[in-house]
Amino acid sequence: MDFEMTIYIAAEPETVWEAITGEAGSRAVMWGSVLRGELVPGARYEYVGPGQDGEETVHVYGEVLEAEPPTLLRLSEHPGPSYRENHAELRSRMTWRLERAGEGLTKATFTNDEWSEGHPAAEETADTWPHVLSSFKSYVETGRALPFPA
């Protein structure tokens, strides 16, 4: 089940990029997790934060497929090892495209596709990603992320 959504954020692409990849924005929007790893093609990344394995739970990991700050970030995605025994077999692709859409305005398009068969998160994307993307927009524009859903 592929997912794509475009939003407009009242900020320059560099500011939006920093919110997506930087510690403060990531922690605020991604349930307390931070993006770790060098954002260069071929490098490993992880979203790490509080969870069932303590403060250093790996929620998602994968490989940086493309990184062109501040316009493109494409990552492979696997659920963290504590979520599924077959985590390495489960894969999708996440792509952020950021385009200047005017003075102080960014068009942000997020795509989550190329789901491996049986990936348990595929069904949840239609509910999860709109909240996450709206939260990034709120964080960039107001300094406050949206509350996490119950």
Structure tokens at 30: 């991604």
The 8-class DSSP code of residue 148 comes to P
Handedness of CA 112, 115, 118, 119 (dihedral sign): negative
Encode pLDDT of 24-81 as tens digits: 999 999 999 999 999 999 999 999 999 999 999 999 999 999 999 999 999 999 999 9
The residue among 62 and 82 whose pLDDT is bigger is 62
Angle at 107 between CA 101 and CA 113, to 5 degrees: 150
Using an 8 Å Cβ cutoff, are 57 and 79 in contact? no
Distance CA 47, CA 85 (A): 18
Question: What is the CATH code for 3-142?
Answer: 3.30.530.20
Distance CA 39, CA 65 (A): 9
Domain segments of the chain as ranges: 3-142
